[in-house]
Amino acid sequence: MITFAPQFCFAGFERGHYESPSFMVTGDMIDKENVRKYVDEFLDGTSIFVVEIKVTPHNKIMVYVDGDQGVTIEDCSKLSRHIERELDRDLEDFELEVSSVGVGHPLQLVRQYHNNIGRRLAVVTNDEQIIKGKLTEVTEQGIVIEKDKPAKGKKKKKDPETDIHDRMFIQFVEIREAKVQVSFK
C-alpha cells in the first residue's frame, strides 16, 4: 500500500519565507517471509539453497544462495527474474540483489560446512579463540578441524598419539564465525 505523507518545510519561516507542502511517497516494507516463499518455491528440487535473505526498511532485498555444485551467474539471474515476477513494482518499489555467497561470507548452514570439507577454515569461537586449519569432518553437532602446525620449528616424525591432538572438535553452538580461507599457493 502506498501512502502520501505531507512534509512541511518551514526553513526560512523567521525571514518571512513560506514554502508549500511537499509530498513524500512511502510504502509498506516488503515482507521477508514472502520473498523467502518465492525463493524456496523456485529452488525446490535443485542443489541450490538459501543462505540468507535481508530486506532493509528502504526495500533493498538481498538474497544470498549457495549450492552443492556451486552457483552460476545464470542461476542467480533466473532466481532474480522469478522474484521480480512475483513482486509488484506498481505497489512497492524495491531494489533486488541476488548473489552467491562470497569467500568472505561466513558459513551459516551445516550444508555449507559439508561443501567445504578439505578446505582451510578460520573459526572464531564464542570465547574469541581463533582456530585455523583444514576442515576434515562434519557431524550433526559440530566440525573437526585439523589444526595448522606452527610455521617455524623442527619437523617431527608422524606419531599417531600426538597427531590426535592436532585435530579438534568444535561444536556448532561454540562457533561465532567460520570462514573459508583462500590459499594462493
d(CA 116, CA 134): 9
Radius of gyration of the chain (CA): 25
pLDDT tens figures, 157-166? 555 544 555 8
3-state class (DSSP) for residue 104: coil
Confidence of residue 64 (pLDDT cuts 50, 70, 90): very high
Residue 169 counted as domain residue: yes
Q: Which CATH number belongs to the domain containing residue 128 in this structure?
A: 2.30.30.100
Residue 1 counted as domain residue: no
d(CA 76, CA 69): 14
**Dihedral of the alpha carbons of 112, 109, 54, 63, in degrees to the nearest 10:** 30
* Domain span at 174: 110-149+165-180
What is this structure's pTM?
A: 0.70
3-state class (DSSP) for residue 128: coil
d(CA 48, CA 100): 10
Clarify whether residues 50 and 83 are in a common domain: yes
